[in-house]
Amino acid sequence: MKKNTKLYETAAALLASGKGILAADESDATAAKRLEMVHLPNTPENRREWREIMLSAPGIEEYISGVIFYDSTIRDETSEGVPFADLLLARGIVPGIKVDLGVKDLHGFKGEVVTQGLDDLDKRFADYYEMGARFAKWRMVVTIDEDELPTDQSLKFNSLQLARYAQLAQDAGIVPIVEPEVIFEGDHSLAKAEMVTTRTLQILFQTLMEYKVDLSGLILKSSMVLAGSKHPEVSTPEQVAQATLRTFHMSVPHEVAGIVFLSGGQTPKRSTDNLNAIAKMGPQPWPITYSFSRAIEEPMLRAWGGKKENAEASQKALLENCKENSLASQGKL
């Protein structure tokens, strides 16, 4: 594939030191779970107002380098008619887009799924590029079972989907984020999580290289390596940091533009503490930062509560949270 230096420039902007990527890419249905936290109905107006409060927060560009949108959100606009993507661009924040269409059962592999969304993806990328999107995200779901899951076949099949997605993204001038999420839910040990995450990333990057994806214009969005949510021993930040970085050094080529973390069901505080512990381990071959969703949005949503008079307090909560994660990404907490 022909090299595209603009991809490298976009990736570098997204991975700027002290900044992270806001994953505001909830589907309209998933947005209901966020709004339920503050007892609000899942209406287009509530979704718009919530996003507008977030994206217009004064000074957010100091901490946020990019925002991942969902299809309906990138098409949305402020109460004054400014497209959300333009609102970001005016502040030096890169708009992005989630392009996968969710998962379906993988036939013949009980308990495993495959991500959908490759049909007409080249046409969708062209449309999103016109709307201002310069990076994209595709999620792969990896479930751990102490006995059998995940299978190598499932990992390979999903990695092929990710490789095709990445090819199409780069051809459209869009930086692909590949997100192999190892699910936190479960009773698996830290050692099991490390083994599965390492194997997942090794198969993924072997596949990406086989299909000539330009790794220098690609970002990995990874789970942190930690014991499952139901495991009797809770992984400490230091254990998470050591296991996660061991995994990366075993699996991620140095050419990759950078790595961002998903929060993956952790509480906002735990996500931040683990991020800080990883950053304290010192410089790595790749820039490493965060791409949180709930861990950033939950505090501001609770401060807002759907009340216009709380908008300023909500933005303050958002900025405080973003600043804390910015410091954590530099190991300064």
Catalytic residue among 98, 194, 221, 298: 221
Exposed, middle or buried by CB within 10 Å (0-12, 13-18, 19+), for 54?
buried
Nearest to 44 by CA among 12, 79, 14: 79
| Domains (range + CATH), the chain | 5-329 (3.20.20.70)
Confidence at residue 222, expressed as pLDDT on a 0 to 100 scale: 98
Q: Pick the catalytic residue: 49, 52, 179, 324? A: 179
pLDDT of residue 231: 95
What are the backbone dihedrals phi and psi of residue 41, each rounded to the nearest 5 degrees, phi first? -70, 150
Residue 69 β-bridge partners: 24, 97
Give the rounded distance of the alpha carbon of 152 from its chain centre: 23
Q: Look up residue 301 and give its amino acid.
A: L
Distance CA 73, CA 77 (A): 8
pLDDT in tens, 10-40: 999 999 999 999 999 999 888 988 999 889 9
Which positions of the chain have pLDDT values less than 50? Answer: none
Cα-based angle 207, 266, 103 (whole degrees, multiple of 5): 45
Encoding tokens for residue 152?
């190598």
Cβ distance 166 to 209 under 8 Å? no
pLDDT of 2: 61
Place of tokens 């990736």: 11
**Bridging pattern class, strands 94-98 and 135-142:** parallel
- What pLDDT was estimated at residue 146? 66
280 is catalytic: no
pLDDT tens, 224-274? 999 999 999 999 999 999 999 999 999 999 999 999 999 998 999 999 999
For the chain, what is the mean pLDDT? 95
Q: What burial class does residue 265 get, using C-beta atoms within 10 Å of its C-beta: 0-12 exposed, 13-18 middle, 19+ buried?
A: middle
C-alpha 201/C-alpha 220 separation (Å) is: 9
